[in-house]
Structure 1
Amino acid sequence: MATIKFVGPKPIVSDKGVRFDANQPDKYIYLSAALELAQAFDVEGEAHDIVYRAKTSQLSDTVMQQMLEKYCSNLEEFVKEREEKAKALVEELRQRVQEHKNISEEARRAWLGNIDAMYDYYLQYITNEAAYDCVLERIGDEISKAKIKEIRVPLLNHFGMVLHELSEVLEKRRPPIDSEYHVEQTPEGLFAVMKLRHP
Structure 2
Amino acid sequence: MTLEYAGPKPLISAHGIEFDHNKEDKFVYLSIAAELIQALDHEYIEDKSYTCLTGDKPITPEIIFALIRRYDPQLDREIEERQTLVEAEIASQIKHAHENRLLCEEERQVLINNIELLRAYRIQRSINKTVYYSAIETLARIIHKGHIEHITAPMYPKFFHVFHSVQGALTKLHPPVDSTIDIYTEDKHLSVQLKIRV
- The two structures have a TM-score, normalised by structure 2, of 0.89
After TM superposition, which residue ranges in structure 1, 4 or more long, deviate above 4 angstroms?
A: 45-51
Aligned pair 1:17/2:23, yes or no? no
Q: CA separation in 2, counterparts of 1:77 and 1:52?
A: 32
For residues 69-88 of structure 1, the C-alpha deviation after alignment (integer angstroms, 9 at most, x for no partner) is: 33333221221221122122
Q: Report the secondary structure of 2:196's partner residue.
A: strand
Q: CA separation in 2, counterparts of 1:152 and 1:82?
A: 32
Aligned pair 1:99/2:119, yes or no? no
Q: CA deviation at 1:45?
A: 4.2
Deviates more, 1:55-64 or 1:138-147: 55-64
Question: Does the 8 A contact of 1:11 with 1:18 survive in 2?
Answer: yes
Q: CA separation in 1, counterparts of 2:177 and 2:5?
A: 31
Aligned to 1:190: 190
| Count of paired positions | 197
Q: CA deviation at 1:188?
A: 7.8
**Aligned partner letter, 2:97:** V
**Aligned partner letter, 1:85:** L
Task: Report percent identity of matched pairs.
Answer: 28
**Aligned partner letter, 2:101:** K
Aligned to 2:164: 164
Q: CA deviation at 1:156?
A: 3.6
**Closer, same or farther: CA 75–22 of 1 in aligned 2, 3 Å:** same
Q: Which runs of 5+ in 1 are unaligned?
A: none
- The two structures have a TM-score, normalised by structure 1, of 0.89
**Aligned partner letter, 1:13:** I
Deviates more, 1:105-114 or 1:22-31: 105-114
Question: Does the 8 A contact of 2:3 with 2:62 survive in 1?
Answer: no
**Aligned partner letter, 1:68:** I
Q: CA deviation at 1:157?
A: 7.3
**Aligned partner letter, 1:185:** T
For residues 1-45 of structure 1, the C-alpha deviation after alignment (integer angstroms, 9 at most, x for no partner) is: x31000100111111221111111000000000000011122124
Q: Which has the higher contact order (CA 8 A, sep 6+)?
A: 1
* CA root-mean-square deviation: 2.1
Q: CA separation in 2, counterparts of 1:190 and 1:73?
A: 37
Question: Does the 8 A contact of 1:53 with 1:154 survive in 2?
Answer: no
Aligned to 2:151: 151
Q: CA deviation at 1:49?
A: 6.1
Q: CA deviation at 1:46?
A: 4.8
Q: Report the secondary structure of 2:191's partner residue.
A: strand
Alignment of 1:1-199 (within 5 A): 2-46=1-45, 51-156=51-156, 158-187=158-187, 189-198=189-198
**Closer, same or farther: CA 101–157 of 1 in aligned 2, 3 Å:** closer
Q: CA separation in 2, counterparts of 1:188 and 1:142?
A: 31
Q: CA separation in 2, counterparts of 1:20 and 1:135?
A: 25
**Aligned partner letter, 1:116:** E
